[in-house]
């Protein structure tokens, strides 16, 4: 999480450091309460659904992203990123990659 937070802060160059830190912290706590654009909020909701309940994905999910202004190419890119993170996290979980010091240990 900390590595991803640092990556996010580096992408928030348009914000001052304090604002970037607040947004990063808010996203880490709960993206639903963070101050996000409609597009970012829609992408987060899509990522959660694709991650947690992939069998429930419907055409309506794509229609909602298109209504937010995303192109099919943009949606495809988002799907690729979401799927990659799901894949690599499962690989890391399977081999018990060392967790960051701030993360809770794996359940026994």
Q: All domains of the chain, ordered by start, with CATH? A: 1-35 (no CATH), 36-100 (1.20.1290.10)
What average pLDDT score do residues 27-45 get? Answer: 93
* Residue-wise pLDDT tens digits, 59-106: 999 999 999 999 999 999 999 999 999 999 899 889 988 767 766 666
3-25 burial: b if 16+ Cβ within 10 Å, else e: eeeeeeeeeeeeeeeeebeebbe
108 pLDDT band (50/70/90 cuts)?
low
**pTM beyond 0.85:** no
- 8 Å CB contact between 44 and 36: yes
C-alpha–C-alpha distance, residues 25 and 6, integer Å: 11
pLDDT confidence of residue 105: 64
């Amino acid at each position: 999480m900390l590595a991803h937070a640092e990556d996010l802060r580096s992408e928030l160059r348009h914000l001052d450091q304090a604002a970037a830190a607040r947004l990063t912290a808010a996203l880490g706590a709960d993206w639903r309460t963070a101050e996000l654009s409609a597009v970012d909020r829609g992408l987060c909701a899509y990522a959660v659904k694709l991650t947690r309940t992939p069998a429930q994905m419907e055409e309506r999910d794509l229609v909602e992203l298109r209504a937010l202004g995303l192109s099919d190419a943009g949606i495809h890119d988002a799907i690729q990123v979401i799927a990659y993170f799901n894949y690599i996290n499962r690989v890391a979980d399977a081999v018990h990659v060392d967790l960051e010091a701030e993360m809770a240990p794996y359940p026994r």
